[in-house]
C-alpha cells in the first residue's frame, strides 16, 4: 500500500484514536502513517452490529413466547456465546443449554441464578423478568 492510498474514511475510531498503518513512501521504503478508518472495515463492523441487534431481537421474542429462558436473551445481549458464558458462570456448556429451557430455568436455585446475574451484570429481578 502506498502512502497516498491510505484511506481516511470516518469510522467508529472517531474521537478515540487514529490507527497506525504500514505504507510505502515515494522512495519505496516502509513507514508508518495514521488512518482515520476505511469504509470497507466500517461496513463490516456495521454489518456485524446489525446482526447483533437482530439476534438480540430474536432472542427477546423467543423469551416472550416462552420458547427460551432469559439466559438465552442476556447471552445474546452481552455479545456472548456458550464458551464465553461458560467461562463467566463456571457452568458447563451443556448445563447452560439446559438452563435456556424456561421450565428448567424457573426451577433454578438462587445461587445458580446469582451466577448468571453476576455474569450478565444485572439484578436478580432483571434476570427473571427482562425488559
Partner 1 sequence: MSKEYTHIQSAHCENGVTTGLLRHHDVDFMTEPLAFGIGSGLFYIHIPFLKINNGPAIAFRNMPGAIFKRTCDALRIKVKKIKFRNEETAKEYLDNKISEGVPVGCQVGVFHLTYFPKEYRFHFNAHNLIIYGKKGDDYMISDPVMETVTSLPTYDLQRARFAKGPLAPKGHLYFPEKIGTISNEQLRSAIIKGIRRNVRDMLYIPGNIAGVKGIRYTSKKIRKWRDELGTQKAGLYLGQIVRMQEEIGTGGGGFRFLYAAFLQQAAKHLGDNRLLSISEEMTKAGDLWRASAMKMASIYKNKNNSQQDFDAIADILLEIYETEKRAFQNLGKLKLS
Does position 16 interact with partner 1 (CB under 8 A)? The reply is yes
Among residues 8, 10, 25, 34, the one that binds partner 1 under rule CB under 8 A: 34
- Three-class secondary structure of residue 22 per DSSP: strand
Does position 9 interact with partner 1 (CB under 8 A)? The reply is no
CB nearer to partner 1: give 44 or 107: 44
Rounded-to-integer distance, Cα 113 and Cα 110, Å: 5
From the list 129, 82, 89, 86, the residue with the least C-alpha distance to 112 is 89
Number of CB atoms found within 10 A of residue 108's CB: 18
Burial of 35 (0-12, 13-18, 19+ CB in 10 A): middle
Contacts (CB under 8 A) with partner 1, residues 93-122: none
Question: Least CB distance from residue 106 to partner 1, whole Å?
Answer: 26
The residues binding partner 1 (CB under 8 A) are: 1, 12-13, 15-24, 29-30, 32, 34, 38-41, 43-45, 47-49, 51, 55, 79-81, 83-88
Amino acid at each position: 500500500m502506498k502512502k497516498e492510498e491510505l484511506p481516511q474514511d470516518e469510522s467508529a475510531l472517531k474521537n478515540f484514536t487514529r490507527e497506525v498503518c504500514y505504507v510505502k513512501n515515494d522512495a519505496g521504503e516502509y513507514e508508518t502513517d495514521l488512518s482515520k478508518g476505511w469504509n470497507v472495515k466500517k461496513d463490516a463492523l456495521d454489518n456485524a452490529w446489525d446482526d447483533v441487534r437482530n439476534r438480540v431481537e430474536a432472542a427477546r421474542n423467543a423469551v416472550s413466547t416462552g420458547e427460551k429462558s432469559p439466559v438465552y436473551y442476556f447471552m445474546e445481549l452481552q455479545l456472548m456465546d456458550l464458551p464465553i458464558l461458560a467461562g463467566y458462570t463456571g457452568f458447563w456448556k451443556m448445563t447452560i443449554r439446559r438452563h435456556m429451557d424456561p421450565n428448567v430455568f424457573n426451577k433454578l436455585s438462587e445461587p445458580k441464578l446469582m451466577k448468571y446475574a453476576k455474569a450478565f451484570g444485572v439484578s436478580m429481578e432483571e434476570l427473571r423478568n427482562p425488559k
